[in-house]
Structure 1
């Protein structure tokens, strides 16, 4: 089964051109099954690119999925028009009474700001608490993962001496985790962050699932209902390259992303060396969600 997204969403044409099976509203209504309800809280400035990246991975599942695009309620986007947001997105205030099988919280370009100083931090606290009662499985990405690890588990964040930037070899720590089925022992994973999490503050309520010399990558709650992915398997092949070019144009002396360009030649189109692992992670996450979620959405969060 395909992913169901708004009929006129710009990501739809990109996904259809790539062969991703996208379902329209009328076709979805004819199928006598309960689709999985997945929400995407998109905190990234380039909303269209981020929603396309996640839709591409979610849409590869054989299950029918309704994807709801969600944004912070009281936040004015500088890079996406209000008309676009009103057309395709719901605010968290508009969805907070709903239940979701799965919910994704993306990264955000605010890692230099202390959590409590983020303008929408109070709403983030409400959203994180809400995921414990209204969501069956949650995936926190990059800044979203840092924020949730800090809030739920008291894991400390610190600023690294230099930006971790490139595609780096990682190690699967627990190959028996249902989220890592089929993964190779040492996947290459895109990394773009200035912060890392303090290993000494990771308690027994968490399990390190994927690790690397560049820093922690993926952790999970012991009960399996939340995973925290500090890096970016959802990235397309141009994500790091475009970030590098933006830094150079802004006068930031950022070295080229490691292990991205063939032979280190920035004039050559980057290679995607992580695509299969991205699909595996999201298909495993969705499968685990599907196997364990109640049929009645209203039962999500019930003891």
Structure 2
């Protein structure tokens, strides 16, 4: 959907994009949330990721009902705002390029249009927001950057936070809405603080992937999602991980979860099942088997060695 309104002139392919995720909050739930504390100030109404979104675009001469954030982690595209935007002119005169590592901020009600590059279509992480805090943050970002396109030295942490927004919305609960609001606030403040910083030496794709995994552990991230965040294919990311880290992305995630489990067994009196759950393992038996396979002893025996 990506914020479709009556003014939309361009649309993604009807069959969507391979690997896409998209969550849209029902309008009735949006109205209810806007009357509640916290979400009345910043509410995510929809969010998603469109990998390699060929022929993706939007044209809204009347603007969108919500404020919009787009983050490009791969490929390229373009954006046009202001007078004449939304006329469906496409890329060309007056269109600002959007490249890998760029974010786009669009204020609700402001005419705009954007689209993927025909030869190298972008991968977009995006969300739409409402609320007084959302409006102030978007306006601040536009003022700081001097336009809708904002360069980010490293888009991976922002994409990681947008991924958290998507996961939170997916729960369909009030708690999920609150978590999505918090993550979205973090995204917008990061973008505003980054401003239009001149491009500098960027972290490598593996460094960006490692930073995401360390930040979000013990939550699991699929290799496909991780690859999309850093602009690589899954096979290329796996090869680079083995070359630079020595293990696959999934094995590295398991190592992070096991490190968390060891720390909790050493420093807390929580039951083993609770330690497993806090380390990303919902099944206590599976956690014990994995821990024993990794360390050669069961979690309870590992803890007992300290006494």
- Normalized against structure 2, the TM-score is what? 0.27
Higher helix share: 2
- Normalized against structure 1, the TM-score is what? 0.27
Q: Which has the larger radius of gyration?
A: 2
